[in-house]
Amino acid sequence: MEEQLTCKESENIIELVDLTRVFEDGMVAVDKVNLKVKKGEFVTFLGPSGCGKTTTLRMIAGFDKPTSGKILLNGQDISGLPPHKRPVNTVFQRYALFPHLNVADNVAFGLKLKKIKVTYERSDGSRFTKVEKLSKAEIAEKVNKALKIVDLEGFEKRSVSTLSGGQQQRVAIARAIVNEPQILLLDEPLGALDLKMRKDMQLELKEMHKKLGITFIYVTHDQEEALTMSDTIVVMKDGEIQQEGTPLDIYNEPANSFVADFIGDSNIFSGTMTGKLKVRFLNKTFECVDDFAKNEKVDVVVRPEDVFLMDEGKGQVDGKIVSSIFKGVHYEMVCKIGKTEVVVQDTKERKVGDKVSIYIRPEDIHIMAKEFTANKYEGYITKKNTVVFGDGEFACDVTQLYPGSFLDEEGYLITAEGEKIDLTDVDVEVEVGLKDIDLNDVDTLEEEGGAVGNIVSIIYKGDHYQVIVRTDENEEDYVCDTEYTWNENDRVSVSIKPEAIRLKLKEEVKR
Ligand SMILES: Nc1ncnc2c1ncn2[C@@H]1O[C@H](COP(=O)(O)OP(=O)(O)OP(=O)(O)O)[C@@H](O)[C@H]1O
Ligand SMILES: [Mg+2]
C-alpha cells in the first residue's frame, strides 16, 4: 500500500480557504482565495501574467507554503504534508526532460526512486512490512500504461531529443500520470508549442482527462484554451478570484469588465444610465434589458459578433470603417464612431473608408455596475506642461510622473537621476476625484482653461449633490460632488486645482 493520504469519500477533493501568499518583499501574490474543486473536475485558472496562478498551484503541490489560509484535501488540512506525500503531480510551465535518457527512462525516473511499503504474511499467519522499490516488471507495466494514455506506445526506446515539442510534452505528462495521482496540476503545459500543436494537444488532454477520471487543475493565460477545455474556469487578477463558473457562464455573463475583456474580444464602453432600461454610450441612448439606477455610471459590454453593420443612416449610430481583416469565416472590422472604436465581426465585408451605421439589439447590451470613485480620462501633456483631457486643458503638476523630478527653467523635466525628458504629447491616464472638481458660471472662468459643458444630471445624496457635467464636443462627463445647488441644463465651466489632477504615464517614455 502506498504511503499517501487515504482518500475519504467527499465531493470536494480540494478546498482552498482564505489562501494567501505574501512574498518576503511584500508582494501579495495570492490574496484570500476561496475555492472548491470537485473530484474529477477539470478546473482552469485563467488570468494575465503575474496574477498568482503558478503560486496557487505551487501551494497545492506543496512546493510553496501559504502565508495564511488553508488547503484541504478531501476535507483534511494538508499544510504540513511535503510534496511527495500529496496525491498530486505537476506538469510545469517549462517541462524539463532528461536529454540523455530515452522516453521510457524519463517516464520511469520517479518510479525508480519510489519506495513502497509491502506487507508479507509469514507461514504462521503473522505479518511484517518491508520498504521496497518497485520491481523492473512493475515499472515497465506502469510506464507502458502511461505511454498508452498519452498516445506514445512504441516510443519507449526513442531518445527524447529526437521528439517533436508536442511529443516531448506528452512524455512530460506521462511522467506525471505514471504515479497515478488523484490530482494532476498542469501549469501552462502547452505554452511552448506552436498554435496547431496546441490545438491538437488541447483535445488530447481533454481526452486524457476523461480516460483517467482524475481531477485536473490547469493553468493558462489563454482564454480560448480555457473555454475549450474546462468544466469550470476561475478567472484571476492581482491574486484574487474575479469570477468562477462554467465557460458559458463566464462568456455570457461576465461579472465585471475585467472578465469581459479577458474572455473573448469585447467592446467595453463607459456609459451612463439615462432612464429606465436606457443607457447612453457612443454619444447615443440605447435601449437595454439590464435595470440600473438612473445616472449610474456603468460599463457596457458588447461582443463584436453582436454588432450589426448597416448602410449609413439606417442603424442607431453612424461611423466609418477604419480597418477590415479577413479571419477565415468572418471579417473583423473596426468602425470608428466619434473617437471610439467599435470592433465588429460580420461575414459581409465592408471596406476601409466605408460609411456605415451600427445596430445593437437591447439583449446584446450587457451592463455592469462600475465602481465609480474617481473620474478617469485619457489625456496628453502639452508643450506648456499642461494636460489635455475631457475636452479641456488644465494646469497640472507633471513632476508626479517621475518621483523626485523637477522642471528646469526651459520647462524640461529633470528626473531624480538627472535625465532630461521632453513630455510634449506624452499620453497619460488622468484621475480626478469627485470632490476635486469646481463648477462655475461659464463666463467667469473660461479664459483660465478647464472645460465647458451642460449639467445633465443632479442627484441629491443626503449631504451633497452629485452633478454630471457633459461637454459638447465628445460628450465627456465630469462627475462632481458639490454642496452648491445647480439646475439641469445650466452651462458651467469645470476647473480643477493642479494638485488634484493625478497623472500616470500610459507607457514608459522612450528616452
Ligand atoms: N519567489 C517570489 N518572490 C517574490 N515575488 C514573487 C515570487 N514568485 C512570484 N512572485 C510574484 O508574485 C506574483 C504572482 O506570480 P505567479 O508566478 O504566481 O504569476 P502567474 O499568474 O503564474 O504568471 P505567469 O502567467 O506569468 O506565469 C507576480 O507578481 C510575481 O512576480
Ligand atoms: Mg505562471
What one-character DSSP code corresponds to residue 6?
-
- Give the model's pLDDT for residue 115: 75
Residue 218 has pLDDT above 90, yes or no: yes
Sheet hosting strand 406-407, strand order edge to edge: 406-407, 413-414, 420-421
- Ligand 1, residues 49, 60, 241: which to mutate, most atoms within 8 A of Cβ? 49
- Which residues line ligand 1 at a C-beta cut-off of 6 Å? 23, 25, 27, 29, 47, 49-55, 221
> What mean pLDDT is reported for the chain?
89
Contact between 432 and 496 (Cβ < 8 Å): yes
Q: 50: CA distance to ligand 1 center in Å?
A: 5
Q: 21: CA distance to ligand 2 center in Å?
A: 14
- Give the model's pLDDT for residue 444: 60
Ligand 1 nearest-atom number relative to CA 236: 21
Q: 187: CA distance to ligand 2 center in Å?
A: 7
Grid coordinates given for 190:
502547452
Contact between 252 and 258 (Cβ < 8 Å): no
CA distance 39 to 73: 10
Ligand 1 nearest-atom number relative to CA 48: 25
Tens digits of residue pLDDT in 18-40: 999 999 999 999 999 999 999 99
Tens digits of residue pLDDT in 285-331: 999 998 888 888 888 989 899 999 999 999 999 999 999 999 888 99
- Of 7 and 266, the structure prediction assigns the larger pLDDT to 266
Residue 474 has pLDDT above 50, yes or no: yes
Residue 141 has pLDDT above 90, yes or no: yes
Ligand 1 nearest-atom number relative to CA 52: 18
CA distance 195 to 408: 51
Element (H, E) at 55: helix 53-61
Nearest CA to ligand 1 atom 12: 29
* Whether the predicted model's global pTM rises above the 0.85 cut: no
Nearest CA to ligand 1 atom 22: 54
What one-character DSSP code corresponds to residue 510?
P
Cell 484574487 maps to which residue? 240
CA distance 452 to 231: 52
Averaged pLDDT, 439-466: 78
CA distance 380 to 394: 11
Nearest CA to ligand 1 atom 28: 50
- Give the model's pLDDT for residue 1: 42
- Give the model's pLDDT for residue 328: 83
pLDDT band per the 50, 70, 90 thresholds, residue 6: very low
Residue 410 has pLDDT above 50, yes or no: yes
Tens digits of residue pLDDT in 494-505: 999 999 999 999
CA distance 190 to 322: 35
pLDDT band per the 50, 70, 90 thresholds, residue 3: very low
Of all residues in the chain, the percent with pLDDT exceeding 90 is 59
Nearest ligand, measured from the Cα of 31: 1
Tens digits of residue pLDDT in 375-406: 999 999 999 999 999 999 999 999 999 999 99
Nearest ligand, measured from the Cα of 92: 2
Residue 8 has pLDDT above 50, yes or no: no
Tens digits of residue pLDDT in 220-243: 988 889 998 999 999 999 999 999
Averaged pLDDT, 53-82: 94
Averaged pLDDT, 57-74: 95
Residue 202's closest CA among 181, 182, 216, 183? 216
Q: 495: CA distance to ligand 1 center in Å?
A: 42
- Give the model's pLDDT for residue 65: 94
pLDDT band per the 50, 70, 90 thresholds, residue 462: low
CA distance 434 to 482: 8
Q: 220: CA distance to ligand 2 center in Å?
A: 8
- Give the model's pLDDT for residue 448: 66
Q: 242: CA distance to ligand 1 center in Å?
A: 18
Distance between terminal CA atoms of the chain?
65
Residue 53's closest CA among 98, 19, 9, 102? 19
- Give the model's pLDDT for residue 235: 96
Domains of the chain are 266-369 (2.40.50.140), 374-505 (2.40.50.140)
Grid coordinates given for 17:
480557504
DSSP 285-316: EEE-S----TT-EEEEEE-GGGEEEEETTSSS
DSSP 419-453: -EE--TT-EEEEEEEGGGEEEEEHHHHGGG-BEEE
Contact between 288 and 277 (Cβ < 8 Å): yes
Tens digits of residue pLDDT in 324-380: 999 888 999 999 998 788 999 999 999 999 999 999 999 999 888 776 789 999 999
Tens digits of residue pLDDT in 82-100: 998 899 998 886 667 888 8
- Give the model's pLDDT for residue 34: 97
Residue 40's closest CA among 195, 184, 138, 148? 184
Q: 18: CA distance to ligand 2 center in Å?
A: 20
Grid coordinates given for 187:
501549469
Contact between 87 and 4 (Cβ < 8 Å): yes
Q: Tally the C-alpha atoms within 13 A of residue 96's C-alpha that lie toward its C-beta.
A: 0
Residue 460 has pLDDT above 80, yes or no: no
Question: Which residues, other chains included, contact 324 with Cβ-Cβ below 8 Å and sequence gap of 6+?
Answer: 331, 332, 333, 334, 349, 350, 351, 352
- Give the model's pLDDT for residue 10: 54
The residues pairing with 298 across neighbouring beta strands, listed in sequence order, are: 271, 369
